[in-house]
Amino acid sequence: MNDAALVALRRLRAPIVLLVLVFAVGIVGLVLIPGTDAAGQPWRMTIFDALYFMSYTASTIGFGEIPQAFNTAQRVWVTLIIYASVIGWAYLVANLLTLAQDRAFRTVLEAGRFRRQVRALREPFYVICGFGETGALVGRALDTLGIRFVAIDISEARIQELDLFDLAQDAPAMIGNARDPENLVAAGMTRPQCRGVLTLTNDDQANLAVAISVRLLNPSVPVLARSMSRDASANMASFGADHVVNPFAKFGEYLAIAIRSPGSHRLMSWLTGLPGTTLEPETAPPRGHWIVCGYGRFGSEVVQAFRGQGLDVTIIDPDELDLGELRLVRGLGTDAATLERAGVRGAVGIVAGTDDDVVNLAIAVTAREARPGIFTIVRQNLRTNRALLEAYDADITMVSSEIIAHECLALLQTPLLGRFLETVKGKDDAWADRVIERLQAVIGVDVPDAWRVAMDAVDAPACCDALGRDDYPVTLADLCRDTTDRDRRLECVPLLLLRGTDSLVLPDETMRLQLGDEVLFAGRPAARRAQRPVLRNVNVRDYVVRGIDVPGGWIWQRFTHTTR
C-alpha cells in the first residue's frame, strides 16, 4: 500500500467507524421491529434483508425493493436511520474533501506520483537540481535532443511552470530542497539509468551540498555544478564535482578567444548552441582601449581577459578599489561626465557589467551617445529584461543562464566534443573560418548535433566485422554516404578521429578506419539516424561501402555467385 492510501485511511477512520455503527444500529432495529405482511400476519426481516435495505437507503440510491410494505413502527425507525446515515455519509464526504485539499496529503500524493514516474524511466536520464532560468534552459535543450531529465526545485511556482513547457517527453518534477539527499535519491540519483546530476541552483552552497551527496551516495555518477565565484569553484572541484561551470569565468575565457580569434569563438558557440538556433554572424571585439563598468565577479573576469590579450582597460566602479596599475574612475558610469573621465572618446569598447540591468542599459546608451559605434558588451541579469536588451541590440549580450546551458550541452552530448573544442581554442582565425565554411557547406546554418561512433562490436558490429579483413577497406567517407543512394552525402562531417592516444582534428575523409577508432561527427539529427544502419547491418554496409547489393540469403548468394 502506498503512503497516500495509508494517510487517507488513517484520516478517514472516524467517519468510517461512524457509518459502520449507523449501519449496525439500523440493521438491529429493522430486524427487531416486527412488520406486517399482506395477509396481516406478523413478519420479520432477516439480517441480510435489513443489510440490503440499509445499503440502498443509506447510500441514497433508494432502490425501493422491499419484501413487504412497511408498517408505521418500521417507518418511524427508517425515518430515523435515514437521517443518521445521511449525516454519516455527509461526514465522510466532508472529510474526503478536506483531505483532498489538505497540503500535507497532496504533498504525499505528489511525492508518490513523482517516485512512480522516476521508477518508470527506463532510458538514461539526467537529474537537474534547481529549475530556474538556467535549469529550464538546459531542460528544454535536453528535451529537444531527446534526452530525459528529472527536475528538483525548492520553488513550487517553478515546478508548476514546467507543466506549461510543452515538452516532447514527460519530465518528472519534484518540489523539494536538493540539499536533502533523500530528495536526490527519490529523483533517481542512485538508479543505474542516471547518467549525471546537474546542479544549477543560484546558491553555491546548495550546489556544493548536492555535489558532495552525489559523490558519497553514488560515486559513479558524474556531477556538473554551477558556481558563481572562483572560491566556490575550487571548493566544488576538490569535493568531487566532475565539471564546475562558472559563467563569469567562462565568459571571460570566451571573450579572450573572441578577441584573439573571432572565428574560433564563432565555431565554438555554434557547435555548443542551443538546439533550434542558427550560426551567428561573427562578432570580433576590437583591440584598443576598453572601459569596464562594475568590477565585481563579472567585471574582474572580463578585465582579466582583456589584460591577458594585452589590451588597455579603465575601470569605472562606485567603490574605492585597490587595483594596482589599472586606472579606476569612481562612479556608476551612467552619466556622461564619468564616462568622459574614463576616456570614452578614445575607447573602442565598453562593458556594462553591474548586477543591475537598468544601470547596464543606462551605461550602454550613454556610451553610444558619447561615442557612436562603440563596441558594447552588456550583462543581462534577469531573463525578464530580455526585451529591453534586445531593443538596445548590444554587440554582445552576456546571459549567465545561456553560457551555462552551452557548457552543459558541450559536456553532455559527448566528451569527444569537449576535446574538439579544446583544440579549437588554440587555433587561429583563418583555420576556424575554413572549418565553418566546410561544415556550413554540408550541414547548413542550424546548430548541429554532435555524436560519437566507436569502431567496436557494440557500436558498429557490421563495420567491425569488415575492419577485421584486409580486403575490405572502410573509409570515413563511407560513413557519410546515404543508405538509399551511396553517391549522395549525408549531412554530417567527421570532426575528430581518436586512434589510440592520437587525435586527428578534421581527419581526411579518404582515411581507412581501423578497429578501435573513435569518431566525432557533427551533423543533422536525420544524418545521425541514417548512419546507424551502415554501422549495424551487414547488407547496408555492403551496399554503402562496396556499392554492390549483395543478396542476403544463402540460396541467392549461390544463385548469383556473389559472396560478401
Partner 1 sequence: MNLEKVVFAFFIILAATLNFGFVIGEIDNPLHHHVWEFFAAFVVNVVATVLKFGDRTQVGATHLATSLVALLQLAAAALIWTLAPTGPDGTIAPETMTSIVSLSAGALLANVVSVVILIVETTLQRR
Q: Which of 8/198 has CB closer to partner 1?
A: 8
**Beta carbons of 404 and 251 less than 8 angstroms apart:** no
By C-beta, is 7 or 538 nearer to partner 1?
7
Comparison of 31 and 538: residue with beta carbon closer to partner 1: 31
CA distance 537 to 269: 35
In the complex with partner 1, which residue's Cβ is closer, 42 or 372? Answer: 42
Task: Identify the three-state secondary structure at position 26.
Answer: helix
CB 367 within 8 A of CB 341: no
Return the H-helix or E-strand segment holding 134: helix 133-144
Provide the minimum distance between the beta carbon of 36 and partner 1 in the complex, in angstroms, as a whole number. Answer: 18
- Please, what is the minimum distance in Å from the beta carbon of residue 16 to partner 1? 5
Q: How far is the CB of 54 from partner 1 (least distance, A)?
A: 12
User: Minimum distance between the CB of residue 5 and partner 1, rounded to whole angstroms?
Assistant: 9
SS3 category, 4: helix
Nearer to partner 1, 24 or 168 (CB): 24
User: Count H helices, E strands: the chain?
Assistant: 23, 18
Task: Please give the sequence-ordered ranges of beta strands (E in DSSP) within 433-551, or none if there are none.
Answer: 449-454, 492-499, 502-505, 518-523
Least distance between partner 1 and beta carbon 153 (Å): 28
| CB 176, CB 184: distance < 8 Å | no
Provide the minimum distance between the beta carbon of 21 and partner 1 in the complex, in angstroms, as a whole number. 7
3-state helix/strand/coil string of 404-441: HHHHHHHHHHCHHHHHHHHHHHHCCHHHHHHHHHHHHH
- Shortest Å, Cβ 11 to partner 1: 8
**Could you give the CA distance from residue 96 to residue 44 in angstroms, rounded to a whole number?**
37
Rounded Cα–Cα distance for residues 81 and 72 (Å): 14
- CB closer to partner 1 out of 35 and 252: 35
Among residues 23 and 543, whose Cβ is nearest to partner 1?
A: 23
Distance of alpha carbon 24 from alpha carbon 410, whole angstroms: 70
Residues at the contact surface with partner 1, assessed by CB under 8 A: 6-13, 16-17, 20-21, 23-24, 27-28, 46-48
Q: How far is the CB of 15 from partner 1 (least distance, A)?
A: 10
| Closer CB to partner 1, 28 or 90, in the complex | 28
